[in-house]
Amino acid sequence: MKKSLLLFLMMAATLTSQAQEALDFAQKFMTLCEGDTTVKCITVSPKMMEQIAESHQITEEHTEALQQAIGKLKSMRIVSAPAELYERAEQLMTKHRRRFKAEENFDTDNARGTFYTRKNRRGQTAELILLREDKTRNLLTIICLTGDLDKEFLCFLYNNKSLKN
């Protein structure tokens, strides 16, 4: 009986540690800001993204590209917080610099930010994080996408002007 209990506890500890490692950046940031009521997070499922795309009048060409992109996503988390937490988010990235890599920076009159990626064991991008500070609204937005994010998808996002303005 004691051996069974010990085996069960060891398995539970292993699963718990693996679950903690599987946290995406948005979850890590929310844990860091636990108790701060100014920090909000929403999760958008691929199904919800499809419904949003269908409700807007998008050209057929864009709809197909959008559906392909959505099909590669596992989840999207959007965190909003006061802009003064931007430095805290960057510090969290620095703390996990072996896991997250800065890919693309931008700085305009209205906003600044950085795209970060996390690779899976096969070297494919499994997570894309955008840290964005809106200078005019004094707002930090973190967008965290997880899934199978290929180079075409990443290039589209890096070059999308609406994210940077």
Question: What confidence tens digit (pLDDT) does each residue in 81-121 have?
Answer: 999 999 999 999 999 888 899 988 999 999 999 999 998 88
How far is Cα 72 from Cα 147, in angstroms, rounded to an integer?
Answer: 6
pTM of the model: 0.74
Q: Which helix (H) or strand (E) holds 50?
A: helix 46-55
pLDDT band at 137 (very low <50, low <70, confident <90, very high): very high
- Position 63 pLDDT exceeds 80: no
Location of structure tokens 């209990």: 5
The pLDDT, as a whole number, for residue 163 is 55
Bin 123: left if φ > 0, else alpha if -120 < ψ < 50, else beta: left
How far is Cα 62 from Cα 102, in angstroms, rounded to an integer?
Answer: 28
Which tokens sit at 23? 């946290």
Type of residue found at 90: E
Comparing C-alpha atoms, which of 32, 127, 142 is closest to residue 75?
127
Tell me the pLDDT of the chain averaged across its residues: 78
